[in-house]
Structure 1
Amino acid sequence: MAVRHRTRGAAAGAAAALALTLTAALTGCGGDSPADTARKAESAVGSIASQASGAVESAAAEAERRLGDIQDGADAKDDVRAGPPVTGADGRVRSEVTVRNTDDSARSFAVQVDFRDAGGRLVDTVIVTVDQVQAGQSATATARSTHDLSGDVRTDVARAVRY
């Protein structure tokens, strides 16, 4: 039992440290453009999620919060779809993400994609960006897990922001 308790404590400590790392990576200089903020979120969330499985939920919460920080961003979850997950030879799971720009001018998207096991437990999260989708058009990007995932993996769009 003592080892198990220490392991949980170490995982919690790692999650907290990684969440702080994510916060530091995303705060950067004031005045970042929405695209810069989205790219920082994409990079930092992938890095944290791949470092410690215990940090996945912390990374997901921080990603959602940071996507909310995108200036002039609009909720676009209804305009985004994640395709069926496919596991590559490298063990990474990929899902094609399709965004539809319903606005009247070109817009970019930041999309948080969650990977869940058959029981619904969050096992990974990533952010993908899709730049400059023309008005009335659709575009795709690939969400790729940050580490090997096995078993029945499902993907869902946790959050999407159009900016």
Structure 2
Amino acid sequence: MGSGVPRGGRRLRYRGASAAAAVLATAGTLTLAACGGGNNNQGGGATFTPRPTAPATESFTGTPPSPLSSAASSAIASARASASAAAASASARADEFEASVAARTEQANQQAHQRLAKVRGRGNAASEVSLSGIPRSQVGDLQAAHVNIHNSSDRTANFAVQIDFRDARGKVVETRYVGAENVRAGQTVHPYAISHQPPEPRLTAVVAKAERY
């Protein structure tokens, strides 16, 4: 009789200890699951959503431009670019025009040279051509003269004129040729004859030949 009670008592104690261990183990499992990785949902743990934080503004200065101010800046920049392009275009056209005029003048002068090469004497229009001086300040301190060509005929004509620049002894130092095209009846034109010689010594320009054709 006495030997059966202790054995039963021990069995009860063992069962109580096993139940307590099971409860503790379960509690530990729940604790680990609750404290586990917050972003891994495969383990059955709780999911945590981070609280949003306000952006740091201490590293920024000023305020962003409004849509209206940005549009106005763009319009001003576009207008300035257009004005600059227009000015450049006008300058380019002026350069082209001047080059075109110079080319036509040079062509007329070359034609005058060729025409006068066949003329004997002073030509048929020497009396219709005269010279007048030009202030040196107007022609970059060069020696030059206005060639005044008057068409005394009754129809439009072309003129070829030879101008000689002579020194104080009357020696021809340089010869220039001037052409004038489509001069109307009764019209007077005033092309330049410009010497390529230095400003000194001073030279005198004279009409050597003039031909109307």
Category of TM-score, reference length = shorter chain: 0.5 to 0.7
Q: Give the share of equivalent positions with the same residue, in percent.
A: 29
Q: Under a length normalisation based on structure 2, what TM-score does the superposition of the two structures give? A: 0.43
How far, CA to CA, are the matches of 2:199 and 2:127 in structure 1?
27
Question: Whose strand fraction is larger, Structure 1's or Structure 2's?
Answer: 1
C-alpha change, 1:109 and 1:145, in structure 2 (3 Å) is same
Deviations 1:2-53 (A, max 9, x none): xxxxxxxxxxxxxxxxxxxxxxxxxxxxxxxxxxx964355xx7xxxxxxxx
Determine if contact 1:91/1:150 at 8 Å carries over to the other structure: no
**TM alignment of 1:63-74, pairs within 5 A:** 66-68=117-119
The match for 1:102 is: 152
Determine if contact 2:136/2:142 at 8 Å carries over to the other structure: yes
Structure 1 counterpart SS, 2:152: coil
The match for 1:77 is: 126
The match for 1:14 is: none
Determine if contact 1:85/1:154 at 8 Å carries over to the other structure: no
Determine if contact 1:84/1:154 at 8 Å carries over to the other structure: no
Residue 140 of structure 1: how far off its partner (Å): 0.9
Which structure has the larger Rg over C-alpha atoms?
2
Residue 126 of structure 1: how far off its partner (Å): 0.1
Deviations 1:57-88 (A, max 9, x none): xxxxxx7861529xxxx610000001126545
Residue 150 of structure 1: how far off its partner (Å): 1.2
How far, CA to CA, are the matches of 1:76 and 1:94 in structure 2?
21
Determine if contact 1:103/1:135 at 8 Å carries over to the other structure: yes
Q: Which runs of 5+ in 1 are unaligned?
A: 1-36, 46-62
Residue 121 of structure 1: how far off its partner (Å): 1.4
- Paired residue for 2:110, among 40, 47, 55? 40
Question: Would you say how many aligned residue pairs link Structure 1 and Structure 2?
Answer: 105
Q: Under a length normalisation based on structure 1, what TM-score does the superposition of the two structures give? A: 0.54
1:93 aligns with 2:143: yes
The match for 2:191 is: 141
Residue 157 of structure 1: how far off its partner (Å): 0.2
Q: Which runs of 5+ in 2 are unaligned?
A: 1-106
1:155 aligns with 2:189: no
